[in-house]
Amino acid sequence: MTAKRAKRAGEAPGERPYVLEEQIGFLIRRAHQRASAIFEQVMEGLDVTPVQYAALAKLHDLGPTSQNQLGRLVGIDPATMFGVAGRLAKRGLVSPSVDPNDARLVLLELTATGREIVEAMKARGPDVSARTLEPLSAEEAETLLSLLGRIG
């Protein structure tokens, strides 16, 4: 039991006070801050946000995909995905087009420049993960990733 979790004066048996630093949301946010800072360092010069990278990487994996489907696959709500796709198109990284089978859908496809950038980022990606998980043993890192996958 950590010192933080040890019984505190005036605490009833079995009752634990709310400690911010022990809350899942706080801990995930701090881990996210760490991962984001490392992402920025490793991906320096590519000028792509983590959310944009997720969209580009998944698009690279799948090939042309509807904007809505891509958003669902990477956990981006439709309004945010619309903005992400617009910014990526403006930078010439993706090319939007109307789906020939359903005019209500916008298909996104990587451009040659988008493909070059995402391939460069994917090559650097393992370094982001390794540096983020550096404080953990290999077994702890594997367990953390497995557990986060179950709640995500």
**Mean pLDDT of residues grouped by 10 in the chain (152 residues)?**
50 79 95 96 95 97 96 96 97 94 93 97 96 97 96 86
What are the helix (H) ranges across 44-111?
Answer: 50-62, 67-74, 78-90
Instruction: Give yes or no for a contact between 106 and 99, defined as CB atoms under 8 angstroms apart.
Output: yes
pLDDT of 10: 55
pLDDT of 71: 97
pTM of the model: 0.83
The secondary structure of residue 20, as a DSSP letter, is G
How much is the CA Rg of the chain, to the nearest whole Å? 20
Q: 91 — phi, psi (to 5°)?
A: -80, -5
Contacts of residue 95, Cβ cutoff 8 Å, sequence gap at least 6: 89, 108, 109, 110, 111
Identify the bridge partners of residue 102 per DSSP, sorted by sequence position. 99
Q: 145 — phi, psi (to 5°)?
A: -60, -40
pLDDT of 1: 43
pLDDT of 7: 52
pLDDT of 106: 94
Instruction: Give yes or no for a contact between 124 and 53, defined as CB atoms under 8 angstroms apart.
Output: no
Task: Return the number of other C-beta atoms located less than 10 Å from residue 61's C-beta.
Answer: 11
Q: Is the dihedral of CA 77, 78, 83, 89 positive or negative?
A: positive
